[in-house]
Amino acid sequence: MAIRPGRLLAVARKETLQLRRDTRSLLMAFLMPAALIVFFGYIISFDVKDIKLAVLDQDHSRQSRALVESFVAAGRFHITERLTRDAEVAPLLDRGAARMVLVVPPGFQRRLAAGEPSPVQAIVDGADANTAAIAMNYATAIVTSYSAGVTLQRTRLAPPVAPESRVWYNETLESPPMIVPGLIAVIMMMIAAMLTALTVAREWERGTMEQLAATPVHRFEVIAGKLLPYLVIGLVDVLAAILIGMYVFDVPFRGNPALLAVMTTMFLIGSLGLGIFISAVLRSQLLATQVAMIATFLPALLLSGLMFDVRMMPAPLQAISALVPARYFITVMRGIFLKDVGISVLWGQGLAMVAYSVAGLALAVRVFRKEIE
């Protein structure tokens, strides 16, 4: 049977009318993506700032005070306690009143003046390993910089090598430019699949599948027609999420909007097709939405590279992550958002998006049946 655009648009119009009467789906379609972007955008952060620091200064000298002030001046630490004896350290860390204790031993200034090594100790609460590692790196960098300054003051020579660092794409090294583009991919994969997971199941539960079966509409026209309104909604949601990222989280958009639109369309078609596939198989709106959420959100969140570096995962998980479409779309979002890269760089991800859209549609058409059993 030949595919006729008129019949496809008729199915799309019917689905649009049903969607307008479904308040739950409308709320999910328009409010949930924006709410999740804002919620997760603020919650998920890898920035470590305002680290609580306690100081045990046993030297009470000008040099020890200068070292302590260098920690405060770095902007990453703030002093919460000033201790007087070693016995106060353990209770302080036990109750979480400080993340790090800086211990300056007696004779610190005297050793520096004599040109001898003068160690200082940083005791870190390692219960949160990520925060502890970052705090240790900050402390090491601060002490190294302070030590270099003391050496230069003594020798009165300029440093032979002066590093000048420059960060591209995320100049402030903050989390939102890295997190928000990836969040758009993860959330839209889940929302798109959940929306269309209701479509075919709704027909069976409301008893309208008999009417659809009596029409001469080809099953591809049914699938494409049902998918079309949600594709438009998905594109609107992505645009809204991009604007939230730009104006709420100050994430710069440097790339080509047309390229992003094409890639996004392919990604949404695949996700919407996956939702229709789940709906056609299960024929229950409640069960279909639950399966759609589990099948999309968890793999996209954990195996896409949003939260964890894929290269650091065990080999079996890396192989599984290669089947997660959000992994490729996150690369697309970050590349276009932050780096202004084109198809010459993203052609591999573009092929993955095309394959995903074709596979999603093919699965949906394959399992959909108009026949009444």
Q: Please give the pLDDT value at position 167.
A: 74
> Is residue 329 a contact partner of residue 353, using CB atoms and an 8 Å limit?
yes
Q: Please give the pLDDT value at position 225.
A: 84
**pLDDT category of residue 24 using cuts at 50, 70 and 90:** confident
Q: Which of 23-27, 57-61, 226-230 has the lowest mean pLDDT?
A: 23-27
Q: Is the pLDDT of residue 207 over 70?
A: no
Among 98-107, 114-123, 173-182, top mean pLDDT goes to 98-107
Q: Which of 89-103, 106-120, 352-366 has the lowest mean pLDDT?
A: 106-120
- Its sign, for the CA torsion 300, 302, 306, 312, is negative
**Cβ neighbours around 37 below 10 Å, total:** 24
> Is residue 125 a contact partner of residue 134, using CB atoms and an 8 Å limit?
no
How do strand 121-124 and strand 77-83 relate by DSSP bridges?
unpaired
Residue 261 makes CB contacts below 8 A (sequence gap 6+) with 235
**pLDDT category of residue 164 using cuts at 50, 70 and 90:** low
Q: Name the fold adopted by 51-155.
A: abc type-2 transporter like fold (3.40.1710)
Alpha-carbon span 156 to 158, nearest angstrom? 7
Q: Please give the pLDDT value at position 281.
A: 85
Q: Please give the pLDDT value at position 233.
A: 93
Alpha-carbon span 57 to 103, nearest angstrom? 6
If one compares 260 and 111, the residue with the highest pLDDT of the two is: 260
121-162: pLDDT as tens digits? 999 998 888 788 888 888 888 888 888 777 666 665 555 555
Considering only CA atoms, give the Rg of the chain: 28
**pLDDT category of residue 359 using cuts at 50, 70 and 90:** very high
**Cβ neighbours around 269 below 10 Å, total:** 25
* 3-state SS string for 141-187: HHHHHHHHHHHHHHHCCCCCCCCCCCCCCCCCCCCHHHHHHHHHHHH
**Rounded percentage of the chain residues whose pLDDT exceeds 90:** 31
Q: Please give the pLDDT value at position 209.
A: 64
If one compares 14 and 275, the residue with the highest pLDDT of the two is: 275
Question: Rounded mean pLDDT of 324-344?
Answer: 92
Q: Which of 132-136, 168-172, 268-272 has the lowest mean pLDDT?
A: 168-172
Q: Please give the pLDDT value at position 334.
A: 92
Q: Please give the pLDDT value at position 154.
A: 62
Q: Which of 92-96, 211-215, 270-274 has the lowest mean pLDDT?
A: 211-215
Q: Please give the pLDDT value at position 214.
A: 62
Q: Is the pLDDT of residue 264 over 80?
A: yes
Alpha-carbon span 301 to 180, nearest angstrom? 13
30: amino acid identity, one letter: F
Domain boundaries, the chain: 5-44+174-367, 51-155
Residue located via tokens 């789906």 = 25
> Is residue 273 a contact partner of residue 366, using CB atoms and an 8 Å limit?
no
Q: Please give the pLDDT value at position 186.
A: 92
Q: Which of 25-39, 98-112, 165-179, 200-214 has the lowest mean pLDDT?
A: 200-214
Q: Please give the pLDDT value at position 328.
A: 94
Q: Give backbone dihedrals phi and psi of 253, rounded to 5 degrees, phi first.
A: -110, 110
Q: Is the pLDDT of residue 358 over 70?
A: yes
351: amino acid identity, one letter: L
Is 1 in a helix, a strand, or coil?
coil
Q: Please give the pLDDT value at position 115.
A: 77
313-323: pLDDT as tens digits? 888 988 999 99
Strands across the sheet with 100-104, in order? 77-83, 51-57, 100-104, 121-124
**pLDDT category of residue 241 using cuts at 50, 70 and 90:** very high
Question: Rounded mean pLDDT of 221-242?
Answer: 90
Alpha-carbon span 310 to 304, nearest angstrom? 7
Q: Please give the pLDDT value at position 189.
A: 92
Q: Please give the pLDDT value at position 25.
A: 77
In b/e form, how buried is each residue of 219-234, taking b as 16+ CB within 10 angstroms? Answer: bbbbbbbbbbbbbebb
Q: Is the pLDDT of residue 52 over 80?
A: yes
**pLDDT category of residue 173 using cuts at 50, 70 and 90:** confident
If one compares 303 and 114, the residue with the highest pLDDT of the two is: 303
Question: Rounded mean pLDDT of 25-41?
Answer: 87
Q: Compute the mean pLDDT over every residue in the chain, rounded to the nearest whole number.
A: 85
